[in-house]
Amino acid sequence: MMVFVNDLAGIKGLPWWNYHIPPGEQGLTYVAVVFPAFLFIVGMAIPLAIEKRMSKGDSILKILYHIIIRSLSLVILGLLIMNGRDMDPASTGISYTAWNVLMFTGVILLWNNYPKTNKRSENIFRILKWSGLLILIALLFIYRREVDDEILWLDKKNWSILGAIGWAYLSVCILFLILKGKFRLLVISLILLVALNVISKAEWVDFIRYIPRIIWPVGSGSLASITMAGLLLSMIFIKNDIASSLNSKITWGVGYAIILFLAGWLLLPFGLAKIGSTPSYTLFSSAICILLFMIMYMVVDVRGHYRWASFLKPAGSNPLLTYILPDIYYAILGLAHANIINPEGWPGVFRALVFSLFILGVSALMTRFKIRLQL
């Protein structure tokens, strides 16, 4: 879905609800819920992933180390992709297309999840990983961008979606570990995160925005709230001591969504917009994600109708590669000096849909050939 809406953004002549609400205006469209859905899914996976590592005997310190490395890797990858779009060829000494193609080559070499076979293969894979790291270091060393006739290095705050996911993931994982996975304490933490979002939006405490993310990864609390909302829903559906039967799980889920909708409605005076991450946007998006999950749960897990979604399996098992594939595709087109044609109106929607299916197909093919990104 993220691939589709990102491609849709470049198409003109569509009804307003196919785009993000412009800055300064209020409202919520379906395209603005796609990114929160990513965060929500990340949150749902957190208790499962941490408990799996604990069952293997991993210490808290080892789990925390893994969380920090994964979070920072997402931030670094986001910085590479976003800064790559602003690269100045003249001052960098390499073409825009060549820099980005080399960057994605380094990313795949470094973060590919190589299969464990024999010692010789492992040595080769180790060389490939180091090669990817050296490529990225070299590209960062020569990187330059131009802003108002001034030559600068990386914009260290331009980490976009991947970086935002990394910071939210780090925040919620740390909270889960500190609170030892206790449901009631995690509910209180969600309330406090939403309160922080309100305080930040109202600018009652202004200094929060100036704290470096490496020190305060929670930020304004909005994205961490959505991630925590997903974590709590996951616990409702996997912890039998919270809800043991199907009916009780559904009751909990519906009640949870209603509470978030009501809270979002009460906080509407603070605005409803993705840009600025208002509290109502945070809560409405989380509630929508809860309802969508419950529909999918009933269709797939309860009714057993899962074959219709089999074409989405490669994207689900290799989401990071699927997400960056459009950028790789356009970088390769630039290398070939090919022109990109974006038809307007509904033909453009059809083109975006076909392109999304193409990306899914490429992701499936690369997954089959053991190219699977894992941070």
* pLDDT classification of 309: cutoffs 50, 70, 90: confident
Specify if 317 maps to a domain.
no
**Tens digits of residue pLDDT in 62-89:** 999 999 999 999 999 999 999 988 888 9
Specify if 181 maps to a domain.
yes
Query: Do residues 110 and 324 touch, judged by C-beta distance below 8 A?
Result: no
Residue 137, CA atoms < 13 Å, CB-side half-sphere? 7
pLDDT in the model for residue 136: 95
Specify if 219 maps to a domain.
yes
Share of residues in the chain with pLDDT > 90 (%) = 48
Specify if 163 maps to a domain.
yes
Flag whether pLDDT at 1 surpasses 70.
no
What's the domain range around 189? 2-69+159-305
State both tokens at 232: 């709590």
Specify if 146 maps to a domain.
no
**Tens digits of residue pLDDT in 167-221:** 999 999 999 999 999 999 999 999 999 999 999 888 777 777 788 888 889 988 9
Strand pairing class (150-152; 145-147):
antiparallel
Place of tokens 């260290």: 156
Domain count, the chain: 1
How far are the Cα atoms of 65, 79, 217 from residue 213, in angstroms, in the given order? Answer: 17, 14, 4
Cα–Cα distance for residue pair 290/263, rounded to 1 Å: 15
Cα–Cα distance for residue pair 178/176, rounded to 1 Å: 6
Specify if 278 maps to a domain.
yes
Place of tokens 């290398």: 335
Query: Do residues 314 and 360 touch, judged by C-beta distance below 8 A?
Result: yes
Flag whether pLDDT at 354 surpasses 90.
no
Flag whether pLDDT at 336 surpasses 70.
no
Specify if 65 maps to a domain.
yes
pLDDT in the model for residue 190: 97
Q: Where do runs of H (alpha helix) occur along 204-245? A: 222-238
Question: CA angle at residue 304 from 298 to 309, to 5 degrees?
Answer: 90
Section 278-286 average pLDDT: 95
Specify if 43 maps to a domain.
yes
Query: Do residues 246 and 302 touch, judged by C-beta distance below 8 A?
Result: yes
Flag whether pLDDT at 222 surpasses 90.
yes
pTM of the shown model? 0.90
Flag whether pLDDT at 375 surpasses 90.
no
* pLDDT classification of 275: cutoffs 50, 70, 90: confident
Section 352-375 average pLDDT: 87
332 Cβ contact list (under 8 Å, min separation 6)? 101
| 82-88, long-range: CB < 8 A, 24+ apart | 82/155, 82/158, 82/159, 82/160, 83/143, 83/145, 83/154, 83/155, 83/158, 86/145, 86/155, 86/158, 87/143, 87/144, 87/145, 88/144, 88/145, 88/146, 88/151
Section 52-64 average pLDDT: 91
CA dihedral 163→164→166→169, nearest 10 degrees, is 180
The more confidently predicted of residues 267 and 156 is: 267
Section 109-126 average pLDDT: 86
Q: State the burial class of residue 158 (Cβ atoms within 10 Å of its Cβ: 0-12, 13-18, 19+).
A: middle
